[in-house]
Structure 1
Amino acid sequence: MTTARMTIAEAVTSLLRDGMPVRFEAYDGSTAGPRDAGIGLELLNERGLSYLLTAPGDLGMARAYVSGDLVVHGVHPGDPYPALVVLMNHLRFRTPSAREAVTIVKGLGLGTLRPPSPPPQESLPRWRRAVEGLRHSKGRDAEVISHHYDVSNRFYEMVLGPSMTYTCAVFPTREATLEEAQTEKYDLICRKLNLQAGQRLLDVGCGWGGMVRHAAREYGVRALGVTLSVQQASWAKEAIDREGLSDLAEVRHLDYRDVVETGFDAVSSIGLTEHIGVRNYPAYFSHLRDRLRPQGRLLNHCITRPHNRRQMIGSFLDRYVFPDGELTGSGRIITEAQDVGLEVMHEENFRLHYALTLAGWNRNLRDHWDECVAEVGEGTARVWGLYMAGSRLAFERNQIQLHHVLATRTSDVGEDGFPLRPRW
């Protein structure tokens, strides 16, 4: 007795609760969904089908999309946000029974269950990375930071724009440009830290040195930045020399845990906390506290959850974007800062600002698509378009947030260094 063949469209449709919201076409000639849909999905080959079947969820779809086996029609690959909105709103999968699953697999052919090799852009799974080093050890952190940040400085220049700033901007108005918003972000942090000429600033996880250069140029601060990315440090050093700031600003290729200097007037951490692991927060905040003089200030800027549970990021982001990334809520961050003796003075949520920031980065990628593909390859460019558009949607829907937490190293006699009503 032979099992009747099942078309790919039939198999996919059988797993949906409310039908196919977009036009779907498969390499076997089968179709599903409305013919006049503005968004279309086209599955080009059996490898793409195997990706979908052997890694259900976002990882399988990402593998098929990054490899070019799954094409999204109706949107630009540099900004697939409109397609993600439709799929998020209307694509509802159900869990098949064991009998249904066997029928579907037999109908499609058992060969589709052989996992293909993942695309080259994919990092090792967590368990494989664990074999090569403890999570958040210095060696493993250096490796995963390199995976994400040492892509290509030229690529980042095209996507991020002239500011070379890869963290949430602060938009004074919705009409502000991305560059204006990034400048406002750095200046807001400088104002919250109450930076004054001649003071010393430590910026941990400094990226391409945007905060270091802004503080030195606009506030006359002697600023030290550290980053685990070789390419970031090289670019930042050149920018410092180009802007004539070498007497005030310095960027080192260094783990923040290896900074031994103390007595800083202020410490900024902009986009580093996501990489260090929630269990390491006590050591992290203790180290930054010990870098400060009494009454010195710390500004911690990081992506957060809308709850305070420790949570690893999803499979796609972990494999393709931020290996070992971990998020929690602002309450947990505040608690950990307080528990090492820092006094938390202020916190602020910039969730919607990050959605606007990501929209700007997607526009830049779309507008420089051919150059970006030439620089890093189409697969990597697709990863970036997908991850930024998906992250934008997550910020808009309050699945993730972005918080500033401002704290001070209050002295033993209770002097915090703040005016009675601070203004920034």
Structure 2
Amino acid sequence: MTLTVGQAFDRVFGPEAPVRVVAYDGSEGGSPDGLVLRLTNPDALNHILASPGDLGLARAYLSGDLVIEGMDEADPYEVLRVVRDGLTPRRPDRRDAAELARFVASHRPHPPTLPPEETPSPLRRLAHGLRHGRTRDAEAISHHYDVSNEFYEHVLGPSMTYTCACFPTDEASLEEAQAYKYDLVAKKLGLEPGMRLLDVGCGWGGMVRHAVKHYGVTALGVTLSREQATWAQRAIEADGIGDRAEVRHGDYRDVTERGFDAVSSIGLTEHIGVKNYPAYFRFLRERLRDEGRLLNHCITRPDNKHAGLPSRGFINRYVFPDGELTGSGDIVRVMEDEGFEVRHQENLREHYARTCGAWNANLAKHWDECVELAGLGRARVWGLYLAGSRLAFERNEIQLHQVLASRTSSEGVSGFTLRPRFEPSDG
């Protein structure tokens, strides 16, 4: 006799799991008082069986085949925490394993019909160019960032800064924390009036505008997102700093200028591919003058054992196509191999967890507007993505590192004094 869906759930996770599954076949499993997951039709089970883990659950939810009662679509953090903590598979005994095998065989999981929010399949991506080639990189960036500037204004807030903030106090607002982050970067780079700054992967120009207005530099930013570049140039003109600030729409590899005093790379490294690190850091070093500094700020893994392996789960499919992470050790090693002298590194992962929580709160506050701008499916993706990222940063599954380095001269002059001119955050 074949198991029901509820019975199969109990065989895998146990009847005491803090989740209650209510299935389309009329069966139930898990705790009667647990979080209720409703599988409304066989497609929900097919998504879960065809893609076990977060990808299958996300597909079922985004397709409307899985309904989670009481979940805040804009900020599903508490639901994700319960699911992550409570759905731990048990080791089945021989009898349970045989029954579960018959259950899976009887349902014959097949390639599912994907929700429209999912990114292109690997075959379609291959047709659009090699991983991290210029064409494919531009397409991947456009997929994520060219939703609409108005959507990002609702989620990110007035700073329009889509990178980890740094909270100087527990009471600091998101806007204060983003400004403090830019100040931290500027101090680490030793920015002073008259210097030239290059900001690669500059987003909506937050670092460019902050550095020009508060540190008196001349700054060039580059982004692959046309939407970002358009918004940034308008903001620059509104600030009255167009004579000293520019944001270009283009590939950072097309920057021909050299002799910059400082280079900031805030949230770009995740997109370029680990195998491309040597060429990337070599290019940035060539843009600097001797004694010039580089600040590289990016999401990292907590180890260096899985370099170059892209995520195949929910985030890679729905959020960041072709994204790759590695540990801070790999980043430091490549920077040093390409001629940089690494002077300081800092892990801000707790700050990124809080940043994601603040973005979730903004999404919830402006939920109706975001749904109207991006569609319900895309808005749900963002809710899952931000809440899941917050949880991952909290649990040290991913980190955020700033690495500061110098193009030290052939005579060994680094440009640093005995007393650094920046104050690292206290975490």
TM over 0.5: yes
Map 1:9-408 to 2 at 5 A. Answer: 9-17=6-14, 19-37=16-34, 39-94=35-90, 99-105=98-104, 109-110=107-108, 113-309=109-305, 310=307, 311-408=309-406
Which whole-Å CA distance do the structure 2 matches of 1:350 and 1:43 have between them? Answer: 39
Which whole-Å CA distance do the structure 1 matches of 2:24 and 2:156 have between them? Answer: 37
> Offset at 1:73?
2.1
Report Cα offsets for 1:321-367 as digits up to 9, x if no partner. 11111111111111100111111111011010000000101111111
Supply the AA of the counterpart residue of 1:170.
C
RMSD: 1.6
Supply the AA of the counterpart residue of 2:114.
P
Which whole-Å CA distance do the structure 1 matches of 2:91 and 2:376 have between them? Answer: 33
Question: Contact (CA 8 Å) 2:47, 2:60: kept in 1 or not?
Answer: yes
Which whole-Å CA distance do the structure 2 matches of 1:211 and 1:320 have between them? Answer: 27
List runs of 5+ in structure 1 lacking aligned partners.
Answer: none
- Is the partner of 2:13 in helix, strand or coil? coil
Moved over 3 A (4+): 94-102, 125-128
Question: Contact (CA 8 Å) 2:303, 2:327: kept in 1 or not?
Answer: yes
Which whole-Å CA distance do the structure 1 matches of 2:228 and 2:36 have between them? Answer: 38
Which whole-Å CA distance do the structure 1 matches of 2:105 and 2:272 have between them? Answer: 45
Report Cα offsets for 1:103-138 as digits up to 9, x if no partner. 21355x44xx23331011111233542343111101
Which whole-Å CA distance do the structure 2 matches of 1:198 and 1:88 have between them? Answer: 51
Which whole-Å CA distance do the structure 1 matches of 2:213 and 2:206 have between them? Answer: 10
Which whole-Å CA distance do the structure 1 matches of 2:401 and 2:244 have between them? Answer: 28
> Offset at 1:192?
0.7
> Offset at 1:18?
6.6
Report Cα offsets for 1:34-81 as digits up to 9, x if no partner. 3333x3212222222221122222111110111222122233111111
Question: Contact (CA 8 Å) 2:3, 2:100: kept in 1 or not?
Answer: no
- Is the partner of 2:71 in helix, strand or coil? coil
> Offset at 1:295?
0.5
Question: Contact (CA 8 Å) 2:278, 2:338: kept in 1 or not?
Answer: yes
Which whole-Å CA distance do the structure 1 matches of 2:324 and 2:80 have between them? Answer: 23
Which whole-Å CA distance do the structure 2 matches of 1:259 and 1:36 have between them? Answer: 59
Supply the AA of the counterpart residue of 1:200.
R
- Is the partner of 1:24 in helix, strand or coil? strand
> Structure 1 residues 18, 300: closer, same or farther in 2, change over 3 A?
farther
Which whole-Å CA distance do the structure 1 matches of 2:318 and 2:151 have between them? Answer: 16
Question: Contact (CA 8 Å) 1:18, 1:91: kept in 2 or not?
Answer: no
Which whole-Å CA distance do the structure 2 matches of 1:102 and 1:418 have between them? Answer: 63
- Is the partner of 2:276 in helix, strand or coil? helix
List runs of 5+ in structure 2 lacking aligned partners.
Answer: 423-427
Question: Contact (CA 8 Å) 1:26, 1:42: kept in 2 or not?
Answer: yes
Which whole-Å CA distance do the structure 2 matches of 1:83 and 1:289 have between them? Answer: 45
Which whole-Å CA distance do the structure 2 matches of 1:72 and 1:164 have between them? Answer: 31
Question: Contact (CA 8 Å) 1:18, 1:92: kept in 2 or not?
Answer: no
- Is the partner of 1:87 in helix, strand or coil? helix
- Is the partner of 1:296 in helix, strand or coil? strand
> Offset at 1:101?
4.1
Supply the AA of the counterpart residue of 2:142.
S
Question: Contact (CA 8 Å) 2:16, 2:31: kept in 1 or not?
Answer: no
Which whole-Å CA distance do the structure 2 matches of 1:362 and 1:103 have between them? Answer: 41
> Structure 1 residues 291, 81: closer, same or farther in 2, change over 3 A?
same
Question: Contact (CA 8 Å) 2:2, 2:102: kept in 1 or not?
Answer: no
Which whole-Å CA distance do the structure 2 matches of 1:370 and 1:27 have between them? Answer: 30
Identity across the alignment (%): 61
Which whole-Å CA distance do the structure 2 matches of 1:27 and 1:154 have between them? Answer: 39
> Structure 1 residues 125, 99: closer, same or farther in 2, change over 3 A?
farther
Which whole-Å CA distance do the structure 2 matches of 1:264 and 1:401 have between them? Answer: 29
TM-score (normalizing by structure 1) = 0.94
- Is the partner of 1:312 in helix, strand or coil? coil
Q: How many residues align?
A: 417
Question: Contact (CA 8 Å) 1:285, 1:340: kept in 2 or not?
Answer: yes
